[in-house]
A and B are shown apart, each in its own frame.
Chain A
């Protein structure tokens, strides 16, 4: 059983560009959440997908968008990158939708915006 994987591991972009980050869920998991972790801070919830539908969203602007595919893998897209978007982006998958469900985290994608 493979765990949660994310690609790429590192990425450098310039301000104003667009970026797509990818996440492959753990086998059998139908729920994916994305988090932004700035340096020295805890993860901040961006949004969650359940069975290809967005289930909830945190306090992030619309230029942060996502997708979940039929195989439950997921993408995070960020348009018009800003310097403050530099962070570690984590995805986490779980068996089912539910507040008490254990989330399994990927290693993250570290994004640097210059």
Chain B
């Protein structure tokens, strides 16, 4: 069975600082990994996904994530935070042949001026 753990339910950074949101996964087979963002009162929007091509995945809005099999991690980073990045971020996993996507509990990002 697959699972996702997001470390830190809340992360606070200053505007212009590095954003690092942590995600560890568990899967017995090669996974597909996703990061989604959710703004208040909205659905989820895909930031980026890993599908076994390049291990460093670049997404929208300047975000990127690196797949590290040895660490079973898929952490999300952005070099410089912007006020508009304040939102809830979800890491998710699915596997080939499976039908469901498993989401983590989410990390709320706060950006201070």
Binding site for B on A (CB under 8 A): 4, 33, 35, 40-45, 48, 55-56, 58, 90, 92, 97, 99-100, 102-108
B90, A103: Cβ atoms closer than 8 Å: no
Which of A44, A99, A105 sits near B96, CB closer than 8 Å? A99
Residues of B within 8 A of A41 (CB): 105-106
Residues from chain B with Cβ under 8 Å of A90 in the complex: 43-44
Cα distance, A108 to B42, chains bound together (Å): 7
Contact A100/B51 with A41-B106, A44-B103, A45-B101 known, Cβ cut-off 8 Å: yes
Q: Considering the complex, give the chain A residue whose CB is closest to the CB of B104.
A: A42
Give the Cβ gap from A6 to chain B, nearest Cβ, in Å. Answer: 8
Most buried by B among A40, A45, A48, A100: A100
Closest to B101 in A: A45
In the complex, residue of chain A having the shortest beta-carbon distance to the beta carbon of B98? A99
Contacts of A33 in B (CB 8 A): 100-101
